């Protein structure tokens, strides 16, 4: 196992504590510049007539406010296994129409070990490469999406942010993935967890299941050296109306 006792700089510790303190106030804070592309891309979908009736937020953490702001009238399925996130999901249930699923999603049914991080949103089913602030290990239920979720209204949008385990979630969706009209998947250019998915793996999986990459809507740089390490990718079915207009620009 990677060493969890490596020292963390006082600056990083301070910034992490500030972020934790501000979490409950995120709905009222201005969006950070790194999220501007989320707003732009979701607005483009709306301008093309896409308004999801159902949204799956897989890996809720402390909330995906970009989605809630863009689609406040959708019905949400909130999926998150960390016990620290449950109070936040219960608060969300007071402002959204939703169902809470306090469990992990993957390609099998049963139980799995979850590494709980100090920042919660970094919690993972996989083993981190290098130092991290770890709190504990929990054993949590794991389900397949295609057996857990019943009938749902369409159009449907699914967001997956599961710290390297995105292919595990996608493989558990294969029985129902054709019912999803848009997916936002966070994946890595440089996987920081052992056996974690990278961009080429996710793009190939989605292509094999009839989806095309439509947009890159966000990115994150790793603190180690500033290299791009994570991307938020938007996929839509290859034959989606959202891909029907192939023009570069309108006629003059």
Copy the structure tokens of residue 123: 């919690």
221/167 Cα distance (integer angstroms) = 21
What's the DSSP call for residue 83?
A: G
For the chain, what is the largest distance between any 2 Cα atoms, rounded to a whole number of angstroms? 62
Average pLDDT over residues 106-119: 88
Q: How confident is the model at residue 194 (pLDDT cuts 50, 70, 90)?
A: confident
Higher local confidence (pLDDT), 221 or 20: 221
Indicate whether 117 pLDDT > 70. yes
| pLDDT(15) > 60 | no
Confidence (pLDDT) at 4: 41
Range with the poorest average pLDDT among 2-11, 12-21, 62-71, 97-106? 2-11
Q: Nearest 5°: phi and psi at 49?
A: 90, 10
CA distance 61 to 69: 16
Q: Which of 125-134, 151-160, 238-247 has the lowest mean pLDDT?
A: 125-134
- Residue 243 lies inside a defined structural domain of this protein: no
156 within 8 A of 74, measured Cβ to Cβ: no
Is residue 21 one of the residues assigned to a domain? no
Q: How far apart are the first and last CA of the chain?
A: 61
Q: Tokens 């249930």 correspond to what residue?
A: 93
CA-CA-CA-CA torsion sign (175, 80, 46, 151): positive
The verdict on residue 20 lying in a domain is no
Residue with tokens 């409950």: 24
In the predicted model, what is the mean pLDDT of residues 39-56?
Answer: 94
Residue 26 lies in a domain: no
pLDDT for position 75: 98
Q: Do 109 and 147 form a contact (C-beta atoms < 8 A)?
A: yes
d(C-alpha 39, C-alpha 184), whole Å: 13
CATH at residue 202 = 3.40.50.150
pLDDT (average), residues 157-166: 93
Q: Is residue 99 part of a domain?
A: yes
Mean pLDDT of the chain: 86
The two beta strands, 54-58 and 182-188, are unpaired
Q: For residue 180, is it within any domain? A: yes
**The pLDDT of residue 13 is above 70:** no
pLDDT at 27: 52
Work out the average pLDDT over 63-83.
95
Is the pLDDT confidence value at 122 over 70?
A: no
* Sheet with 97-101, side-by-side order of all strands: 97-101, 75-79, 54-58, 156-160, 182-188, 228-237, 211-221
Q: Is the pLDDT of residue 72 over 70?
A: yes
pLDDT at res. 9: 57
Q: What is the pLDDT of residue 31?
A: 47
* Domain boundaries, position 85: 31-237
How many domains does the chain fold into?
1
The mean pLDDT of 157-174, rounded to a whole number, is 95
Q: Is the pLDDT of residue 142 over 60?
A: yes
Rg, Å, the chain Cα set: 18
Which structure tokens are listed for 79? Answer: 């999926």
pTM value is 0.84
What phi, psi does 66 have (nearest 5°)? -60, -40
Give yes or no for residue 119 having a pLDDT over 80.
no
Asked whether residue 227 is assigned to any structural domain, the reply reads yes
CB count, 10 Å around CB of 151? 7
Provide the token pair at 220: 């994150």
In this structure, is residue 196 part of a structural domain? yes
Asked if residue 120 has pLDDT above 60, the reply is: yes
């Amino acid at each position: 196992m990677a060493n969890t006792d490596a020292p963390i700089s006082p600056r990083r510790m301070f910034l992490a504590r500030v972020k934790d303190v501000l979490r409950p106030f995120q709905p009222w804070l201005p969006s950070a510049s790194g999220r501007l592309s989320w707003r732009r891309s979701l607005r483009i979908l709306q301008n093309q007539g896409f308004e999801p009736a159902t949204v799956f937020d897989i890996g809720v953490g402390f909330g995906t406010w970009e989605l809630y702001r863009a689609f406040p009238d959708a019905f949400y399925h909130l999926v998150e296994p960390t016990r620290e996130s449950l109070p936040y999901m219960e608060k969300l249930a007071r402002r959204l129409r939703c169902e809470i699923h306090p469990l992990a999603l993957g390609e099998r049914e049963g139980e799995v070990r979850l590494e709980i991080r100090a920042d919660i949103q970094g919690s993972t089913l996989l083993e981190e490469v290098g130092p991290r602030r770890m709190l504990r290990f929990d054993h949590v239920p794991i389900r397949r999406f295609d057996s857990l979720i019943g009938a749902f209204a369409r159009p449907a949008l699914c967001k997956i942010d599961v710290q390297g385990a995105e292919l595990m979630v996608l493989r558990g969706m294969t029985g129902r993935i054709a019912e999803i009209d848009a997916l936002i998947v966070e994946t890595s250019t440089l996987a920081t967890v052992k056996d974690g998915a990278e961009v080429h793996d996710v793009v190939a999986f989605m292509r094999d299941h009839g989806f095309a990459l439509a947009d890159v809507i966000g990115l994150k740089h790793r603190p180690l050296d500033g290299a791009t390490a994570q991307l938020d990718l938007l996929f839509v079915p290859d034959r989606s109306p959202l891909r029907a207009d192939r023009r570069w620009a309108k006629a003059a």
